[in-house]
A and B are shown apart, each in its own frame.
Chain A
């Protein structure tokens, strides 16, 4: 579906204030997520396992915030090439990093 320029979503339009606002939203969200992550560990609010799971979740959300607001990657058709590249890289990362951790853990438990 090809959109006409006047139907472009707000963030696609060239508006200095809108683009400035996007960087501000990204900056504020990133600071809040970082504070939440450090605060969670400093406050000992959760047990270790719960803490690690919430930290992982916060990190994933913050990565998405950086991709969306600082790197301007989203689900729009015009960004499909980059998105596919990121998703493919994500798959490679999952296989290589996950596989490495799996194998090393497995070896360790046999030693």
Chain B
């Protein structure tokens, strides 16, 4: 066996010698996607900076973070997203070692359900806040809050749509190289959204309440 194939070549789970051709093809594809993710991270960092300033100086006589944020639903959301990151890892392992569609599809569906639960709970939280008069137009703090958390929510929602499309592709095309590298890119996208959420639950929710 060519030893170079055993080395991991890109972020996320490497196919390695279980599928050498996909492993070769994935290197540039995943590096390019990784560059996109890093630029996406810059977007989030600036939204964080915006939130840090607005949540201190932009309350405009309205509610402060400590007044309106509570931790119960964010905690459930955190756990849902964290477990979905783990189950996507299990899906990637099923794709790598088993070449077995049933197990891959099972873990992808579990991941989808957890992600949908996350988005559902977040939408519930948002509508609840807006119905109490704490909508984005209330103050700079709340505008920045909805912008930051909402942008993350839209990312997760587009990840869910992407996941559905790939589930269809798994059935239509089978586990060919394109479908595999697409799943590998979605996997690092999904893990990265969980990393961004660490920032949100720490700097928005926990800092707001502490």
Mark out the residues of chain B between 131 and 158 whose CB falls within 8 Å of any chain A CB in the assembled complex.
none
Pairwise interchain contact B89-A48, C-beta atoms closer than 8 A: no
Pairwise interchain contact B53-A55, C-beta atoms closer than 8 A: no
Is B73 interfacial (CB-CB < 8 Å)? no
Which of A14, A19, A34, A52 is close to B17, meaning CB atoms less than 8 Å apart? Answer: A14
A100 and B79 contact, Cβ closer than 8 Å, known pairs A55-B210, A59-B202, A85-B38? no
Pairwise interchain contact A96-B45, C-beta atoms closer than 8 A: yes
A70 and B6 contact, Cβ closer than 8 Å, known pairs A41-B71, A59-B199, A105-B53? no
**Considering only CB atoms, which chain A residue lies closest to B74 in the complex?**
A38
Is B97 interfacial (CB-CB < 8 Å)? yes
Is A71 interfacial (CB-CB < 8 Å)? yes
Pairwise interchain contact B53-A101, C-beta atoms closer than 8 A: yes
Which of B3, B11, B46 is close to A72, meaning CB atoms less than 8 Å apart? Answer: B11
Residues of chain B within 8 A of A108, CB atoms compared: 53, 56-57
Q: Chain A nearest CB: distance from B202 CB in Å?
A: 4
Residues of chain A within 8 A of B93, CB atoms compared: 16, 19-20, 23
**Considering only CB atoms, which chain A residue lies closest to B57 in the complex?**
A108
Pairwise interchain contact B195-A12, C-beta atoms closer than 8 A: no
A101 and B49 contact, Cβ closer than 8 Å, known pairs A19-B93, A59-B202, A82-B10? yes
Q: Chain B nearest CB: distance from A38 CB in Å?
A: 5
Pairwise interchain contact B17-A66, C-beta atoms closer than 8 A: no
Cα distance, A76 to B10, chains bound together (Å): 12
Q: Please, what's the 1-or-0 string for A6-46, where 1 marks a CB less than 8 Å from any CB in chain B? A: 00100011101001100100110011001001101110000
Q: Chain A nearest CB: distance from B80 CB in Å?
A: 12
Pairwise interchain contact B53-A100, C-beta atoms closer than 8 A: yes
Cα distance, A76 to B93, chains bound together (Å): 21
Pairwise interchain contact A23-B78, C-beta atoms closer than 8 A: no
Pairwise interchain contact B48-A34, C-beta atoms closer than 8 A: no
Pairwise interchain contact A100-B198, C-beta atoms closer than 8 A: no
Cα distance, A25 to B109, chains bound together (Å): 23
Pairwise interchain contact A13-B82, C-beta atoms closer than 8 A: no
Pairwise interchain contact B16-A31, C-beta atoms closer than 8 A: no
Is B207 interfacial (CB-CB < 8 Å)? yes
Stretch at the interface among B110-118, B173-181, B186-194: B186-194
Residues of chain B within 8 A of A62, CB atoms compared: 198
**Considering only CB atoms, which chain B residue lies closest to A22 in the complex?**
B89
**Considering only CB atoms, which chain A residue lies closest to B188 in the complex?**
A71
Q: List, sorted by A's number, 19 A–B pairs whose CB atoms are closer than 8 Å.
A: A4-B3, A12-B7, A13-B6, A19-B13, A27-B86, A38-B71, A40-B210, A55-B202, A59-B199, A66-B194, A70-B85, A72-B13, A78-B7, A85-B38, A92-B42, A93-B41, A98-B49, A104-B49, A105-B53
List the interface of chain A (C-beta within 8 A of B). 4-5, 8, 12-14, 16, 19-20, 23, 26-27, 30-31, 34, 37-38, 40-42, 48, 51-52, 55-56, 58-59, 62-63, 66-67, 70-73, 76, 78-79, 81-82, 85-86, 89, 92-93, 96-98, 100-101, 104-105, 108
